[in-house]
Structure 1
Amino acid sequence: MKTLLQAVLFSLFSFAALPALAQDTPVNINEASVETLTTLPGIGAVKAQAIVDDREANGNYESLEDLTRIDGIGNATVANLADSATF
């Protein structure tokens, strides 16, 4: 029983760490799903959906500055994404 409890706890902590591990690899803004975009700093579910919608309506992003087309994404957010996002 103790081993089972340890395995369950290990699994829970492992899954909790997945978003943090996802930050190690830059997210491709032009290919990422809403769920993946939410792992980026400063990007919640609403902004992530807006990015996907804008991408589908206007085509791929060529630079981080293009993200400022999205309401609520300004220069500060763009600067925070420099190490986390790619195209």
Structure 2
Amino acid sequence: MPRIPEPKLVELEGEYYHVRFRDPDEFSEIRTPEWAQEAAAEVSTGSKVRTGHRKGSDEWVVQSVLIPEAAGKTTARSDAQKIIEKLES
């Protein structure tokens, strides 16, 4: 089982808290897939997941999770952790 990373950064940008798990420079491409958004919504309604394609690999992993601002910073961090655990376990 892969190691689930801890959040590296939680910051408010626009209407979402961006909870970063991995540096965007690690990836050749980043997407916000609908399937991940649907899975994330089971934890936090309105959340989004950005997945990244690792440079030099076929692997796609969660780069960051976006949680609606109304959740608050502490809840955003906690919900994002639950979402990445759900997607990467």
TM bucket (normalised to shorter chain) is under 0.3
Select the structure that is richer in strand: 2
TM-score (norm 1): 0.28
Select the structure that is richer in helix: 1
